[in-house]
Amino acid sequence: MRAVDGISIDIRAGEFVALLGASGSGKSSLLNLIAGLDRPTSGAVIVHGNNLAALSREELAKYRLHTVGMVFQSFNLIPSMSLLENVELPLRFAEIDRRERPALARQALERVGLSGRLAHRPMELSGGEQQRASLARALINRPKLLLADEPTGNLDSRTGTEIMELIRGFNQSLGMTVLMVTHEQALAEKYARRMLQLADGRLVDDIPNVARADDVRVASPAQAPAIPGDRP
Amino acid sequence: MKFYDVADLAVRNLRESIFRNSLTTVGISVGVASLVAMLSLGIGLQQLASRRLEKSGLFDTVVATSRRDLRNFREQREEGPAPAESPALDETARQKIAHLPGVVEAYPDIRFTTELRFGDKPHLTTVAGVPFSAKNNNDAFEGVQGSFFSSEAAPEAILQKSFAEELLGIKPKPGASDANAKIAELAKPLLGKELIMRYAERTASPSDSGSAASSTSTPGSSATSSSASTSATAVAAVGPGGNENAAYSVVSRRQGLKIVGITDLDPDTMRGTARARVFLPLKLVQELHVVQSSLRDTPATGMPTFSSLSVRVASPNQVPLVEDAIKKMGFNAFSLVDATRSMRQFFAVLDGFLAIFGSLALAVASIGIVNTLVMAILERRREIGIMKAVGASDADVRGLFFAEAGVMGLVGGAVGVTLGWVIGRLINFGTNIYLERQHFPPAQIWSVPLWLVLGAVAFSIVVSLVSGLYPAARAARLDPVQALRYE
């Protein structure tokens, strides 16, 4: 059985796209393909002109490091590290000089409103705070693409809104392309400018969010180029 | 990832499961400790043995003999000039040999069988001259009861234990263990006492026979005047054996000797049945001109010809070179260097066995490392997935697990060497208590050279890294999607 089957989408730089669908519809699998965590058995995923399917494992790691930032439903912070260390972690892999790293991490945490929590461990914080920290970590290497897998799934609606506002801020002020997986129609309608509906691994609907469609190009699946890509 | 970060993360991770990782590290330590203890014992024994053997003169001595001496026919088969053309082993030859590279000293081997009087009883034994340098390089004289000769030509004697027993009329008890205590008892009644040596002096006669009567006042005896009671008691003219037409007279003489030392070890082990039991300063013996079975004076110069020379070489390695050089000069030369070779072989095999036994514990410990790291992969599955999701490469993850194995190896190695050192110290301490009870001199049977310390730590790290190969590869290949999937 194919988790993602025959989907052809084209996402432009700076778009805020929501992937909607029931559990098992293939939306997370699609996100993992675009994140470079998984490889398609056939077809292509082209980001910035690079076909991820053709990259080596090493190149794929570089892509994850520099081009995408990821946020998860379960935050996925490393419990044995403080917030500052968690946010600093991608900088270690990027081989940034270790004297510059704390300042960069502190800056990123300030941006998400966590400047007072640097030395805390993730378990000492609320879910909202943990998700903010993981957003800071996703931003630290200044990626072009932010991938969020149910970012508010473990949060109450008030903190969920706070997180979504932060993500929208990144989209608008930093021009970051956002691709968010969610099963909450309301959330998608509120923030995304384009909604992709998946069912059983297939794209069943690609609709501009009318409420916020002022600046979005609409492309029907038939007209769209064969692959999702971030074309500048 | 840079080295600092790999090391930093590795140490952090090890500290997270400090108890389990400590246990694994203790396992490595025990392995390294057993390896170090075993090897240091082997090395220590080897050093002890070679120290003893070096001092024994067995392995740094070449014995040179003349090919003219037909009694050494067995060695005549070797290449080189025929016996008749072979040069004489005289003072000139001695000096030439003494100046060969690597030679420390070359001295004539003087030994003769004679009668020694202690009290009123005569005792027949072999007497040998000992060079003054033996004081420092012969183990037998190092551990002497009493003292070494006071000067190069002092009329003094050191007795071998068995001769001391004979003088006192003691029968050696078989299997006696209190060696040191006994020799001290032997020494007490003998040290400082006088021995009278009766010997035959040869005096060169310028003309042949008929000069027997004139040799009552021999020049040879004046050289050893000192306090010794030298007196001619008989005069005899002896025609030289066979082809030599030089003549010399033999005069019977006495020499008083003071007993200054008793030695337990045999300083003359190389000589087999010809070994001497009474030792006199070489200079003294040379000046006495005692008649020896194989010593003739060279007709032309009047200088003595030696039956054999002992050539002491700076190190056992140089023995073959010196041996060859002496053979090229036209003499026979032999040494026991082959025996050292087999001794070294023996210790190499012994060290090998000890190392294998020592390594067994380390092999078990390395399985512990594999186990611990595989456990860590299972435990940190999610963490590995997170690291990969935020950009860690396979190499980063592999390096991290490798570094963890390496740190365990380093810490385990360092602790293990210390532990092994302590164990060795204890073994040494215990052995020396035992040796002391048995009245043996203390010995360093255990030695940890610097190369062993560094080698053991390096070996421990290498073993740990090899153990880390499989877990590291497995962690690196972990699929991040699988690892991040919710339970």
Residue type, B247: A
- Residues of chain A in contact with residue B1, where contact means CB-CB under 8 angstroms, are 92-93, 95
Distance from CA of A38 to the nearest CA of B (A): 7
Q: In this predicted structure, what is the pLDDT of residue B199?
A: 83
Query: Which range among A139-148, B54-63, B361-370 has the greatest average pLDDT?
Result: A139-148
Instruction: Decide if pLDDT at B228 tops 50.
Output: no
**Which of A88-97, A120-129, B109-118, B398-407 is the least confident region?**
B109-118
Q: In this predicted structure, what is the pLDDT of residue B213?
A: 40
> Shortest CA distance to B291 belongs to which of B228, B256, B240?
B240
- Residues of chain A in contact with residue B480, where contact means CB-CB under 8 angstroms, are 37
Kindly report, residue by residue over B131-173, the tens digit of the pLDDT. 887 776 666 676 677 888 888 888 888 888 888 888 887 765 5
Kindly report, residue by residue over B180-192, the tens digit of the pLDDT. 556 777 778 888 8
Half-sphere exposure (Cβ direction) of B30: Cα atoms closer than 13 Å: 13
- Comparing CB atoms, the residue among A38, A93, A98 nearest residue B4 is A98
Please say whether the beta carbons of A175 and A13 come within 8 A. yes
Interface test with B, best of A31, A93, A140, A149 (most B CBs within 10 A): A93
Please say whether the beta carbons of B197 and B176 come within 8 A. no
Kindly report, residue by residue over A120-150, the tens digit of the pLDDT. 999 999 999 999 999 999 999 999 999 999 9
Classify the phi-psi angles of B303: left when phi > 0, otherwise alpha if psi is within -120 to 50, otherwise beta: beta
Q: In this predicted structure, what is the pLDDT of residue B69?
A: 56
CB within 8 Å: A92 and B386: no
Distances in Å between the Cα of A83 and the Cα atoms of A80, B80, B354, B409 are: 10, 88, 52, 31
Interface test with A, best of B15, B390, B400, B486 (most A CBs within 10 A): B390
Distance, CA of A126 to CA of B138 (rounded, Å): 83
Q: Which chain A residue shows the shortest CA-CA distance from B397?
A: A93
Q: In this predicted structure, what is the pLDDT of residue B414?
A: 94
Task: Show Cβ contacts of residue A146 under 8 Å, excluding neighbours closer than 6 positions.
Answer: A68, A69, A70, A71, A138, A139, A167, A170, A171, A176, A177, A178, A179
Q: Which residue has the tokens 């025609």?
A: B239
Please say whether the beta carbons of B41 and B424 come within 8 A. yes
Q: In this predicted structure, what is the pLDDT of residue B247?
A: 56
Instruction: Decide if pLDDT at B67 tops 90.
Output: no
Query: Which range among B66-80, B206-220, B381-395 has the greatest average pLDDT?
Result: B381-395
Mean pLDDT of chain B, nearest integer: 77
**Which of B263-277, B384-398, B430-444 is the least confident region?**
B263-277
- Residues of chain B in contact with residue A77, where contact means CB-CB under 8 angstroms, are 386
- Residues of chain B in contact with residue A89, where contact means CB-CB under 8 angstroms, are 387, 390
Q: In this predicted structure, what is the pLDDT of residue A227?
A: 45
CB within 8 Å: B391 and A37: no
| A127-149 burial code (b ≥16 CB/10 A, e <16) | bbbbbbbbbbbbbbbebbbbbbb
CB within 8 Å: A98 and B386: no
Longest dimension (CA), chain A: 51
Packed helices B381-389 and A57-66: angle between N→C axes, nearest 10 degrees:
70
Whether residue A59 lies within 8 A of chain B, CB to CB, comes out as: no
Distance, CA of B406 to CA of B410 (rounded, Å): 6
Interface test with B, best of A4, A30, A37, A121 (most B CBs within 10 A): A37
- Residues of chain B in contact with residue A65, where contact means CB-CB under 8 angstroms, are 390-392
In chain B, the percentage of residues whose pLDDT exceeds 90 is 20
Q: In this predicted structure, what is the pLDDT of residue B303?
A: 64
CB within 8 Å: B394 and A74: no
Q: Which chain B residue shows the shortest CA-CA distance from A101?
A: B5
Residue type, B115: E
Instruction: Please give the torsion angle defined by the CA atoms of residues B185, B187, B188 and B193, in that order, rounded to the nearest 10 degrees.
Output: 150
**Which of B269-278, B317-326, B378-387 is the least confident region?**
B269-278
Instruction: Decide if pLDDT at B240 tops 50.
Output: no
- Residues of chain A in contact with residue B4, where contact means CB-CB under 8 angstroms, are 98
Distance, CA of A43 to CA of B338 (rounded, Å): 76
Distance from CA of A75 to the nearest CA of B (A): 10
Q: In this predicted structure, what is the pLDDT of residue B145?
A: 78
Distance, CA of A191 to CA of A189 (rounded, Å): 6
CB within 8 Å: B394 and A57: yes
- Residues of chain A in contact with residue B393, where contact means CB-CB under 8 angstroms, are 57-58, 61-62, 93
Q: In this predicted structure, what is the pLDDT of residue B218?
A: 41
- Residues of chain B in contact with residue A137, where contact means CB-CB under 8 angstroms, are 390
Rounded to the nearest angstrom, the gap between the alpha carbon of residue A91 and the centroid of all alpha carbons in its chain is 18
Classify the phi-psi angles of B80: left when phi > 0, otherwise alpha if psi is within -120 to 50, otherwise beta: left
Q: Which chain A residue shows the shortest CA-CA distance from B487?
A: A74
Q: What domains, with CATH codes, occur in chain A?
A: 1-67+143-232 (3.40.50.300), 79-142 (no CATH)
- Comparing CB atoms, the residue among A58, A98, A137 nearest residue B390 is A137
Please say whether the beta carbons of B477 and B380 come within 8 A. no
Helix extents (H) in B81-193:
91-98, 134-137, 139-142, 161-168, 179-190
- Comparing CB atoms, the residue among A32, A61, A77 nearest residue B481 is A32
Q: In this predicted structure, what is the pLDDT of residue A169?
A: 92
Distance, CA of A51 to CA of A9 (rounded, Å): 14
Mean pLDDT of chain A, nearest integer: 86
Whether residue A211 lies within 8 A of chain B, CB to CB, comes out as: no
Q: Which chain B residue shows the shortest CA-CA distance from A134?
A: B390
Q: In this predicted structure, what is the pLDDT of residue B217?
A: 41
**Which of A183-192, B122-131, B199-208, B443-452 is the least confident region?**
B199-208
- Comparing CB atoms, the residue among A78, A94, A95 nearest residue B383 is A78
Burial of B384 (0-12, 13-18, 19+ CB in 10 A): buried
Distance, CA of B336 to CA of B347 (rounded, Å): 17
